[in-house]
Chain A
Amino acid sequence: MASSSTSVVVSNKEKENKNTKKVTLKSSDGESFEVDESVAMESQTIKHIIEDGCANNEIPLPNVTSGILSRVIEYCKKHKEAAGESEPSVTSYTSNSTTNPLTEWDTEFVKVDQNTLFDLILAANYLDIKGLLDLTCKTVADMMKGKTPQEIRETFHIKNDYTPEEEAEVRKENQWAFE
């Protein structure tokens, strides 16, 4: 009786070890983050590094600061949890928020200042995390939708460097849009 119960304990432990294989990510400013391998593999870039057997102790990410990396890890953890074993969703094609249970969480996640938002875009691009890249880019697109060009310039501090002649030329090229 006793031996069978210990064997149960051992096999559970084995299972645990298999499920919680960890990997360490190092930000550009030297901070280390230990995460589950499965969570880190939400990033295709990291996935390839691990699969190519190049991940020894730590995976250095010289393009991502600790502040941004911690947010990215938060995103990956949340989305990994929610995805479970289901197929990759087609949520990028459907704008139906009722199909995506994480819509509310995602909306809160991107309520950040512009600086951080653009850093997230760059990180998502570098780490190749499609869901995060689409979410952040769509957020910026939503900030532009329905605004006049002048309003967009003010929102993003874009300086108009056209000469009056050049500007007239651009307007004429796509007259229909400026009506």
Chain B
Amino acid sequence: MKRQKKRREMESKEEEERRERQRIERAERAEKRDLLRQQQQQHRNVRAERRQKIDFISSLPDCLLTHILSFLPTRDAVLTSILSSRWRTLWTLVPVLDLDQFRISRNLNFLDTVSSIWTLRNAAIPLRKFHLHWTSDCDPSYVDTLIQHTILHSRVLQDLHLCIYTTDPNPPLKVHPTLFFSTTLVVFKLEGVIHLNPPSDSSFPTLRIMEIGSGITYENCDSLPTLLAACPVLQELNLTVSDTNFFCLEANTGMLKIIVLVPTLKKLYLYWFLDDWCYTFLHYYILQLNTPALEQFYFSGLLAKDVNVGNLPNLVKSGLEFEEIENDVSTRDYAKRIWDFMGSLYNVESMEFSIETAEILCHGSIKDLPVFNNLTSLTIGGSIKTCSYMWPAVQLLLCQAPKLQTLVFELTLNVYNSYSPDNRLECRLGNWLSAQCLSSHLTACYYKGFSAHEVEMELVRQVLKEASILKTMKITFKSRLDSEIKLCARKKLRKLQRRYPTCQFEFDEGQVDF
């Protein structure tokens, strides 16, 4: 009896314990479920927040939003006024005006537009940057008032870029005298019908970049030297010399001097644009450079008689594109002048050379040519025309570059040919390339804009045949070239004889239409 009772007691105890355990387990499971539900709800909340997509930009302070808008052309900045009420007046606080007539109003009156912008913008915010492209029917007196206002009221004008084209009988825009004493200007670019008369004591203590484009007229022959002498820290000069420079100058008042004596100058671009009948004006130019710090020098156009380039020991890159002369000047003398000019570039490391220049140089003598001991990269650009005799000069140039490592061809073909009735571009290449003139350091050759024409094939064939250690020949096809032509070209090229047996071919499809 007792044992049975005890057993029943034990059993009921076990039963209770079991139930208790089950209760605890159930409670634990319920807790876990609740926790999971909570977490899922949290995740849903976060996702909802992300989907809400917060407008961060509008919460930025005014100064940062106007800084962002200062990188936009004015029209884009004005458009932001419609985004929301926060943005309504932000554009008026931007210290930049970037107005391009072509992009703003093709139908509307540009003067009215500029006037409206000028009135609506906050006059208390001085302009840091003022770009104005007014290329048709510009009203110079209105522009003059704008500039006067800008210079006189702005103590922070750093960047001024004017491209102005007026029409007769409007006079050209005369640059206001006070501008020539700006103590804040860093970038100064002018193009178009603008007249320069810098006072003799002009001073631009902070100017680093200057660009004088085509169409500019000078008051007298000293205007340009005065202007250049006023820039003690100039780093970059982009100068276009054209026949319009003479419109105000009387004949025989002396030579137009281009004297650049700027010890800090690092980059120089010189463009000489002269119409055919102006070849006589060559006699009116004096080009004198004294720019020992120059690192990049690009010259395009006609070379005057009186040229003194001085020492350019720090030159790294240069580009040359000489135009040919047709009249009185002997081509042999001209060729010699060009070689002499190139002599001052003796230290250059990379050069862009136009094939048209080579054409001129073929008329020159082959004695006493300059040597380019540091030239490691040579790019030959320009347009190959038929019946033109140019390759011997290229060979000469290659002979003068004993350490050349990279040779680049960036040539276009002028296939319109009146001499050949069946329209084939005759190949006057000959055997222009000889092993002696190809540098023993030449390891890479690039051909850009390859269209598989026989002239191009021939060029590549000759380089491959003569270059003793050419490791890479990279061909970039002219884009939009038929894929069959490309395939055929690749096969042909790979079969060509290579002097350096392990020369690798690389082919590039070419993104940019040349």
A→B interface (CB under 8 Å)? 90, 93-94, 114-115, 118, 121-122, 125, 133, 137-138, 140-142, 144-146, 148-149, 152-153, 156-162, 166-167, 170-171, 173-174, 176-179
Contacts and interface: CB of A to CB of B under 8 A. Distances in A.
B135 interface: no
Contact of A158 (B58, B104, B158): B58
B80 A133 contact: no
B120 A174 contact: yes
Contacts of B83: 149, 152-153, 158, 160
The 8 closest A-B pairs by CB, nearest first: A141-B71, A157-B53, A177-B78, A176-B113, A156-B57, A137-B68, A118-B56, A157-B55
Nearest to B72: A141
Interface string B33-69: 0000000000000000000011111101001100111
Contact of A90 (B76, B78, B235): B235
A141 B60 contact: no
A153 B117 CA distance: 24
Given A141-B68, A176-B116, A146 B57 contact: no
A152 B209 contact: no
Contact of A145 (B63, B67, B72, B105): B72
Contacts of B63: 125
Given A90-B209, A140-B57, A176-B113, A121 B79 contact: no
11 contacts: A122-B60, A140-B57, A153-B84, A157-B54, A158-B57, A158-B58, A160-B83, A162-B82, A170-B82, A176-B108, A179-B108
A125 B56 CA distance: 16
Nearest to B53: A157
A167 B108 contact: no
Contact of A152 (B56, B80, B120): B80
Contact of B85 (A93, A138, A161, A177): A161
B423 interface: no
B75 interface: yes
A160 B84 contact: yes
A162 B84 contact: yes
Contacts of B72: 141, 144-145
B159 interface: yes
B81 A174 contact: yes
B274 interface: no
Given A137-B68, A157-B55, A93 B84 contact: no
B: contact size bracket: 35 or more
B101 to A, nearest CB: 11
B84 A133 contact: no
B48 to A, nearest CB: 14
Contact of B60 (A93, A118, A161): A118
Contacts of A146: 76
Contact of B71 (A118, A138, A161): A138
B327 to A, nearest CB: 37
Contacts of B82: 149, 162, 167, 170-171, 178
A44 to B, nearest CB: 15
Contacts of A118: 56-57, 60
Given A90-B235, A178-B79, 16 more contacts: A93-B158, A118-B57, A125-B63, A133-B67, A137-B70, A141-B69, A141-B70, A149-B80, A152-B79, A159-B55, A170-B81, A173-B81, A176-B104, A177-B78, A179-B105, A179-B108
A149 B79 contact: yes
A144 B80 contact: yes
B396 interface: no
A176 B88 CA distance: 16
Contacts of B56: 114-115, 118, 156
**Which of A162, A167, A174 has the largest count of B CB atoms less than 10 A from its CB?**
A174
B186 A93 contact: yes
A170 B88 contact: yes
B64 A177 contact: no
B460 to A, nearest CB: 27
B120 A173 contact: yes
A158 B60 contact: no
Interface in B227-277: 235-236
B282 interface: no
B448 interface: no
Given A118-B56, A173-B120, A145 B84 contact: no
Given A93-B187, A141-B72, A144-B76, A158 B53 contact: no
B209 A137 contact: no
